[in-house]
């Protein structure tokens, strides 16, 4: 079945540090890929997405590139802020009658001033 | 435009009881999906409703059920509650069914605690 694997957390960084969160996937079809963010006490918000190989999703300084050859969708940000502290989820969706979002386990990011 | 709303935000129940959670999607959205979030299992898909019909279902026992009304509002019901049902239940809405290219918008969730 479809699955998403995220790197183990939590991750703690200093403000302005470079961020990379690894995400790899297995899928039976050709998936769309997503990064969601969850702030404390809130639901999930879509951060960025990519729907085909070599697409780059970007938003709020975050970027991720759909790499079909390595089945990866790593999230990066050049300079993190304290306000980026949250839980980040990688997810995939394969189109079809049984389409659903499949999530990774999530990783908690803490950014200290 | 108002976002996805879920009621109640917090619930405490005891084992054996049943519970009903409610979700109001964004105006105009006809697809509603439900997810269970726990520390151990993460985010897991429960089911999706579109135009009052269940289109897809995850791997949960029959104690978990749902429905959707003509105004697209959705409810999910859990009967005979178990301790392991304690979780954050998230609802998400979208314009079109999950199989189409579309974005899901999530509500804040209902935190269910089973004692």
Q: What is the per-residue pLDDT across B33-76, written as a single tens digit (0 to 9) for each? A: 999 999 888 999 999 999 999 998 999 999 999 999 999 999 99
Is A106 close to B42, i.e. CB distance below 8 A?
Answer: yes
Chain B hits for A42, Cβ within 8 Å: 108
Chain A hits for B55, Cβ within 8 Å: 97
pLDDT of residue B19: 98
Mean residue pLDDT across chain B: 93
Sorted by sequence, the CB contacts under 8 Å of residue A78 that are 6+ apart come out as A18, A61
Q: Would you say residue B104 has pLDDT above 90?
A: no
Confidence of residue B103 (pLDDT cuts 50, 70, 90): confident
Mean pLDDT of A33-52: 92
Q: What is the per-residue pLDDT across A23-36, written as a single tens digit (0 to 9) for each? A: 999 998 889 999 99
Confidence of residue B1 (pLDDT cuts 50, 70, 90): low
Tokens representing B7 are 């009621």
CB pairs under 8 A between A and B: 54
pLDDT of residue A1: 83
Is A95 close to B104, i.e. CB distance below 8 A?
Answer: no
Per DSSP, the residues of B5-60 read: EEE-SEEEE-TT--EEEEEEPPTT--EEEEEEEETTTEEEEEEEEETTEEEEE-S-
Among chain B residues, CA nearest to A42: B108
Mean pLDDT of B88-107: 85
- How close, in Å, is residue B82 to chain A by CA atoms? 23
Rounded to an integer, what distance in angstroms lies between the CA atom of residue A53 and that of residue A31? 10
Confidence of residue A40 (pLDDT cuts 50, 70, 90): confident
Choose the closest CB to A99 out of B98, B105, B109: B98
Q: Would you say residue A96 has pLDDT above 80?
A: no
B2 close to A (CB below 8 A): no
Is A95 close to B99, i.e. CB distance below 8 A?
Answer: yes
Confidence of residue B102 (pLDDT cuts 50, 70, 90): confident
Quick one: what percent of chain B has pLDDT higher than 70? 97
Q: Would you say residue A80 has pLDDT above 90?
A: yes
Q: Would you say residue A7 has pLDDT above 90?
A: no
Q: Would you say residue B100 has pLDDT above 80?
A: no
Mean pLDDT of A53-67: 96
Q: Would you say residue B106 has pLDDT above 80?
A: yes
B60 close to A (CB below 8 A): no
Which value, to the nearest 10 degrees, does the dihedral of the CA atoms of residues B105, B78, A106, B104 take? Answer: -10
Q: How far apart are the first and last CA of chain B?
A: 37
B95 close to A (CB below 8 A): no
Chain B hits for A100, Cβ within 8 Å: 33, 45, 48, 56, 58, 98
Mean pLDDT of B21-43: 94
């Amino acid at each position: 079945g479809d699955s998403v694997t995220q790197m183990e957390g939590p991750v703690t960084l200093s403000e302005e540090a470079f961020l990379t969160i690894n995400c790899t996937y297995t899928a039976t079809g050709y998936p769309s890929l997503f990064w969601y963010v969850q702030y404390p006490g809130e639901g999930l918000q879509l951060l960025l997405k990519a729907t085909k190989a070599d697409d780059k999703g970007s938003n709020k300084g975050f970027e991720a590139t759909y790499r079909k050859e390595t089945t990866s969708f790593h999230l990066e940000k050049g300079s993190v802020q304290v306000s980026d502290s949250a839980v980040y989820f990688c997810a995939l969706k394969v189109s079809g009658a049984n389409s659903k979002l499949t999530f990774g386990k999530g990783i908690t990011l803490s950014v200290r001033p | 435009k108002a976002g996805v709303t879920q009621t109640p935000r917090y619930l405490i129940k005891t084992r054996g009881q049943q519970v009903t959670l409610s979700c109001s999607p964004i105006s105009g959205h006809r697809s509603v999906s439900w997810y269970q979030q726990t520390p151990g299992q993460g985010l897991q898909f429960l089911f999706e409703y579109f135009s009052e019909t269940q289109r897809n279902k995850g791997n949960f026992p029959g104690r978990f059920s749902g429905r959707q009304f003509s105004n697209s509002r959705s409810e999910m019901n859990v009967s005979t509650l178990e301790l392991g049902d304690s979780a954050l239940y998230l609802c998400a809405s979208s314009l079109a069914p999950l199989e189409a290219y579309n974005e899901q918008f999530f509500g804040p969730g209902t935190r269910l605690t089973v004692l």
